[in-house]
Structure 1
């Protein structure tokens, strides 16, 4: 029974990641341009917080490492939108301490945990390698978004973010089909629709602005 609750936590976190895309697309459709609403980053941070806990419980180094990078970028975007300080101080402290605790867990309790990444996955298989690249791209897209936002001194979801997301989604869908993973298939199938739609909205708004 306990295992079901752990899985429920993971699925709930993933549902929040999906919800942020739906909300972001709703706001973009409403305004006729690609926007970066505060709730997108709030949902991202909450989902990442819960998924980090899931990763710690599941002893999953891949999840912990993968989530931590984007985790701090979510916080930075809230800072750029002047919404980070609106979160109660105690909650901010908890949010900042979790990834530190996660990495302490990896280092202090390390039984060659980093080796698990390679021992559990055959990266010589081109489809598995493609899936790993896709996951890496999903994290690096936020590094690109962060760089772009810092450059413009405001939180932005630029065209490149959606292009990278689309490419990553194609790779992960290929991997998910190979592994017959319904969770990844559903999540990425929904995601790629949102990514492509944002690309369309971007060019549509640019065309309107040029008239």
Structure 2
């Protein structure tokens, strides 16, 4: 059941990349469609749960950072307010509730995620570094889009995506995690193609 949650999350993530890629090919330039952000928030929510069930702090950490950036982009695309209030409330409060839970029982959290015999500390740090780099693409995207006052997916976003994804795939191989391997590997081609389209559009 844990893998079902993880694979479902990766289906959403893979679908967002596939749809963004198809729509960008049609437009002959890199675009930031609303469906990309809708699928992002769904995938992120499920992957957050998956990371928790797998006792994998690297996954949880990566999702918390990018989670609210997805919501910001949904709002910029005028999609956020159309979601039912109950759903918006759940989406907004789940990470907050998880953080409060971690803080209230910090010692148990440290034991569960940082003293896990299944994940050596060096591997956890390596995986977290990959998640941080991979997540920074959305921080970069948010800063870039905020300056332009619209939701965009610039060249730097795809370059960071490619680099971070390669680290996460190698981490997933060490962890024998088919969810991460499949999810990250499927995006590599799309990242490369978007880099090419972005560079072509800037020429």
Fold similarity call, TM over 0.5 = yes
Shift of 1:58: 4.5
* 1:115 to 1:66, Cα distance in 2 relative to 1, 3 A: farther
Aligned match of 1:113: 109
Aligned match of 2:71: 75
Shift of 1:83: 1.6
Listed as ranges, the matches of 1:36-55 within 5 Å are: 36-55=32-51
* 1:7 to 1:109, Cα distance in 2 relative to 1, 3 A: farther
Q: Normalised by the size of structure 2, how large is the TM-score?
A: 0.87
Q: C-alpha distance in 1, partners of 2:171/2:2?
A: 24
Deviation per CA, 1:91-129: give whole Å up to 9, x if none. Answer: 21111111111112212233341354443343546xx65
Structure 1 residues not aligned, in runs of 5+: none
Q: C-alpha distance in 2, partners of 1:176/1:58?
A: 13
Query: Is the 2:58–2:128 Cα contact (8 Å) retained in structure 1?
Result: no
Q: Normalised by the size of structure 1, how large is the TM-score?
A: 0.84
Structure 2 residues not aligned, in runs of 5+: none
- Larger mean Cα displacement after TM superposition, 134-143 or 101-110: 101-110
Q: Which has the larger radius of gyration?
A: 1
Q: C-alpha distance in 2, partners of 1:60/1:173?
A: 15
Aligned match of 1:141: 137
Match of residue 29, structure 1, among 25, 30, 52: 25
Q: C-alpha distance in 2, partners of 1:168/1:155?
A: 21
Aligned residues: 201
Aligned match of 2:120: 122
Aligned match of 2:92: 96
Q: C-alpha distance in 2, partners of 1:56/1:186?
A: 19
CA RMSD in angstroms, aligned pairs only: 2.2
> Does 2:199 match 1:200?
no
